[in-house]
């Protein structure tokens, strides 16, 4: 297996704008988003895809996605949320570490699926705003 960029960079915290972390899962900003606020949720432990992830970790990721969706609606004044997950190269899985995309959407703004360049400052600001909203939402 070639080195996993999520294990070496995100789990280690080296190259990530993390807004949520516990012992089992991490929420962070997509470095190459398709929309402002595009986030990923991954397990800390390496699982290649949906076929290998443990059920309890999968369910914990889904639960965070519910809270995160509310936070993204608030922070980005979104009209909706896309949640997606790819499994295998032919399904366009690029990083072979299970990950869930959570993307805020605005009516009339069609996703072209081209990646948007965001500055480090923009990603850091988005992560901070999401972290604050997520904490508020999860505490209630």
Structure tokens at 137: 């939402």
Inter-axis angle of helices 120-139 and 55-75, nearest 10: 110
Cβ-contact 76, 37 below 8 angstroms: yes
Q: What is the DSSP string of 58-92?
A: HHHHHHHHHHHHHHHHHHTT-SEEEEE---SGGGT
Per-residue pLDDT tens for 102-122?
999 999 877 665 666 778 888
Average pLDDT score over residue span 26-38: 92
Residue 52: what pLDDT? 96
Q: How far is CA 85 from CA 2, 116, 136, in A?
A: 21, 19, 26
The CA distance from 140 to 57, in Å, is: 23
Give the number of domains in the chain: 1
The DSSP 8-state label assigned to residue 106 in this structure reads -
Residue among 137, 75, 121 at smallest CA distance from 102? 75
Q: What angle do CA 2, 21, 27 make, to 5 degrees?
A: 65
pLDDT of 56-92, one tens digit each? 999 999 999 999 999 999 999 999 999 999 999 898 8
CATH of the domain at 79: 3.30.428.10
Domain range spanning residue 26? 5-139
pLDDT at residue 114, rounded to an integer: 61
């Amino acid at each position: 297996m070639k080195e996993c960029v999520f294990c070496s960079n995100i789990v280690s915290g080296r190259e990530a704008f993390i807004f949520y972390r516990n012992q089992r899962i991490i929420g962070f900003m997509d470095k190459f988003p398709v929309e402002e606020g595009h986030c990923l949720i991954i397990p800390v432990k390496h699982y290649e895809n949906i076929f290998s992830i443990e059920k309890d970790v999968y369910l914990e990721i889904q639960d965070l996605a519910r809270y995160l969706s509310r936070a993204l609606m608030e922070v980005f004044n979104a009209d909706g949320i896309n949640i997606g997950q790819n499994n295998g190269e032919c399904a366009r899985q690029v990083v072979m570490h299970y990950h869930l995309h959570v993307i805020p959407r605005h009516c009339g703004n069609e996703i072209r699926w081209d990646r948007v360049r965001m500055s480090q400052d923009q990603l850091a600001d988005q992560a901070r705003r999401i972290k604050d909203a997520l904490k508020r939402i999860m505490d209630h």
